[in-house]
């Protein structure tokens, strides 16, 4: 970041002397006011629940312009990345800062495929879970448990260890997610097949069984790979900030990523794709397209507690660029699988049409987000609804680990420790 000529001056109405703060500029996007000395000089904190105006770190990984509807990974726009590159390229880019050349790609793919298996002991660990456990409960436990297996890569001060942990996490997530699915079905786990692509291997671990192999459909493989690309990173969202905060104490990477998985589970974040599909299915079962208007009235009624899932975003106040790509993928997959007349897709299109014309949504700048269509694609592929957020975790792992690594390499990094405005009882004695 570079120091701007501009500075910010804070003045008080009670006659206290005003204080100047430096302003810094990034490469693009809003400047920041450096308030680190605020407490020391004024005895006051800032108050910003939900971090609406607070940059908690500097980062060179992902840039979002919410007004323009722009998303860049390391400077490259998401539509170019999603249409011209595969998920392994995106992982390399997010981790290393640039796209791989041919030799780097071969080497990176080999590093990842070298780590796709998990310690056999994890199969026994898995057996402690109920078969009907939510996959995100299982995944939070499994990812946290990795720190009990890979003691040789948990020295966070060693860049080599950090790199190996990153590769291990990216490589093992598909195996763990597929294991969670197989376990819920009561089917045997399928070992990774390293001759397949990252995404093809995941599909096979999900859908093959010992009696019947699975032939990867290239349209489905490409669609899932795109889902992974679109979810790979999204700057300082709730789960990424959780990974950074958790990791800021110096904990090991597996523990920090497990915290990210737990945070992602919530319906306002990664759980939205599951919640969105449940919403569409509920609507379909209760009158379908005919009842969309009535449902929208409920959504607009603040007392109903109903939100239109898959709509709205803290940062995008224009169309989420990922939603456009997802809608296109949705059409391709449904066509390839002869599901073009899928009633849920038609219903989703109708909900979107009505919302985009309704002043409630227009005035609040509420547009479809990536989760609005991703659930329909995953459902068409055969992925059960309760696994959607686990798939999101798989894809976001590269973003989490890159952000964690960036934090540890930042000379300005400190343990995260927000302050508070205390409004509880003041000092009192026990009578
Ligand atoms: N349906 C109906 N009203 C909404 C919605 C929605 N989905 N989202 C926001 N609003 C209204 C909200 O009631 C408020 O209205 P008012 O100003 O009259 O009080 C206004 O829009 C602003 O909402 P907010 O809650 O202050 O906005 P936020 O930035 O805090 O929330 C959000 C962002 C994503 C949590 C929210 O839009 C939401 O709950 N969306 C549905 C869940 C969802 O799809 N989440 C996925 C996000 S994308 C994937 C990811 O990054 O994890």
pLDDT, tens only, 199-243: 999 999 999 999 988 999 999 999 999 999 999 999 999 999 999
Q: Which residues of the chain have pLDDT under 70?
A: none
Task: Identify the residue whose C-alpha is closest to ligand 1 atom 44.
Answer: 310
Report pLDDT for 215. 95
Token pair, residue 96, equals 């290393």
Report pLDDT for 273. 87
Number of other CB atoms surrounding residue 401 within 10 Å? 28
Task: Identify the residue whose C-alpha is closest to ligand 1 atom 32.
Answer: 313
Report pLDDT for 269. 87
Buried b (16+ CB within 10 A) or exposed e, 360-389: ebeeeebbbbbbbbbbbbbbbbebebbbbb
Buried b (16+ CB within 10 A) or exposed e, 306-335: ebbbbbbbeebbebbbbbbbbbbbbeebbe
Q: Is the CB of 375 under 6 A from ligand 1?
A: no
pLDDT in tens, 125-151: 999 999 999 999 999 999 999 999 998
Report pLDDT for 346. 86
Report pLDDT for 383. 96
Report pLDDT for 430. 97
Q: Is 313 a catalytic residue?
A: yes
Contact 367, 323 (CB under 8 A): yes
Give me the residue label for tokens 């291997």: 201
Q: Is the CB of 399 under 6 A from ligand 1?
A: no
Q: Is the CB of 368 under 6 A from ligand 1?
A: no
Report pLDDT for 348. 86
Q: Is 429 a catalytic residue?
A: no
- For β-strands 19-25 and 2-10, DSSP reports them as antiparallel
Report pLDDT for 315. 87
Q: Is the CB of 100 under 6 A from ligand 1?
A: no
Ligand 1 mean position, distance from CA 318 (Å):
13
Q: Is the CB of 299 under 6 A from ligand 1?
A: yes
**Residue 242 contacts by C-beta under 8 Å, 6 or more apart in sequence?**
259, 260, 262, 263
Contact 374, 387 (CB under 8 A): no
Ligand 1 mean position, distance from CA 284 (Å):
23
Task: Identify the residue whose C-alpha is closest to ligand 1 atom 20.
Answer: 364
Ligand 1 mean position, distance from CA 308 (Å):
8
Mutate to test the pocket of ligand 1, among 237, 312, 388, 395 (most ligand atoms within 8 A of CB): 312
Task: Identify the residue whose C-alpha is closest to ligand 1 atom 24.
Answer: 314
Task: Identify the residue whose C-alpha is closest to ligand 1 atom 3.
Answer: 307
Q: Is the CB of 231 under 6 A from ligand 1?
A: no
Q: Is the CB of 237 under 6 A from ligand 1?
A: yes
Length of the chain as a residue count: 431
Contact 354, 292 (CB under 8 A): yes
Catalytic residue among 371, 386, 410, 429: 371
Report pLDDT for 268. 87
Contact 166, 95 (CB under 8 A): yes
């Amino acid at each position: 970041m570079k120091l701007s000529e501009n500075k910010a001056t804070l003045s008080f109405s009670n006659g206290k002397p005003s204080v100047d703060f430096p302003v810094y500029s990034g490469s693009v996007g809003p400047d920041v006011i450096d308030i680190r000395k605020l407490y020391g000089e004024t005895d006051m904190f800032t108050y910003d629940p939900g971090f609406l105006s607070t940059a908690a770190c500097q980062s060179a990984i992902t840039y979002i312009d919410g007004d323009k509807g722009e998303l860049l990974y390391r400077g490259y726009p998401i539509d170019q990345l999603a249409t011209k590159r595969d998920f392994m390229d995106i992982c390399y880019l997010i981790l290393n800062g640039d796209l791989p050349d041919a030799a780097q790609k071969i080497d990176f793919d080999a590093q990842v495929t070298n780590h796709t298996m998990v310690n056999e002991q994890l199969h026994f660990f898995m057996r402690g879970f109920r078969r009907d456990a939510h996959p995100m409960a299982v995944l939070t436990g499994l990812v946290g448990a990795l720190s009990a297996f890979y003691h040789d890569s948990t020295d966070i001060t060693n860049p080599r260890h950090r790199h190996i942990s990153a590769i291990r996490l990216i490589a093992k997530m598909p195996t763990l997610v597929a294991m969670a699915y197989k376990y819920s079905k009561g089917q045997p786990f399928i070992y990774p097949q390293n001759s397949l692509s990252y995404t093809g291997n995941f599909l096979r671990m999900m859908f093959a069984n010992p009696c019947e192999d699975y032939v990867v459909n290239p349209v489905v493989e490409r669609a899932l790979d795109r889902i992974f690309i679109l979810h790979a990173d999204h700057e300082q969202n709730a789960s990424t900030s959780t990974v950074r905060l958790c990791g800021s104490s110096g904990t090991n990477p597996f523990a920090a990523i497990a915290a990210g998985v737990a945070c992602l589970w919530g319906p306002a974040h990664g759980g939205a794709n599951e919640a969105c599909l449940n919403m569409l299915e509920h609507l379909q079962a209760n009158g379908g397209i005919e009842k969309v208007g009535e449902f929208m009235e409920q959504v607009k009624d603040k007392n109903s507690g109903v939100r239109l899932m898959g709509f709205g975003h803290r940062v995008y106040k224009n169309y989420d660029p990922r939603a456009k790509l997802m809608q296109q993928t949705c059409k391709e997959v449904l066509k390839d699988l002869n599901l073009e007349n899928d009633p849920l897709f038609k219903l989703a299109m109708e909900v979107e049409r009505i919302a985009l014309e309704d002043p409630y949504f227009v005035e609040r700048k509420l547009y479809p987000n990536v989760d609005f269509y991703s659930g329909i694609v995953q459902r068409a592929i055969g992925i059960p609804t309760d696994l959607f957020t686990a798939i999101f975790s798989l894809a976001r792992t590269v973003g989490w680990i890159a952000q964690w690594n960036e934090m540890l390499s930042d000379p300005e990094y400190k343990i995260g420790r927000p302050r508070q405005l205390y409004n509880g009882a003041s000092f009192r004695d026990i009578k």
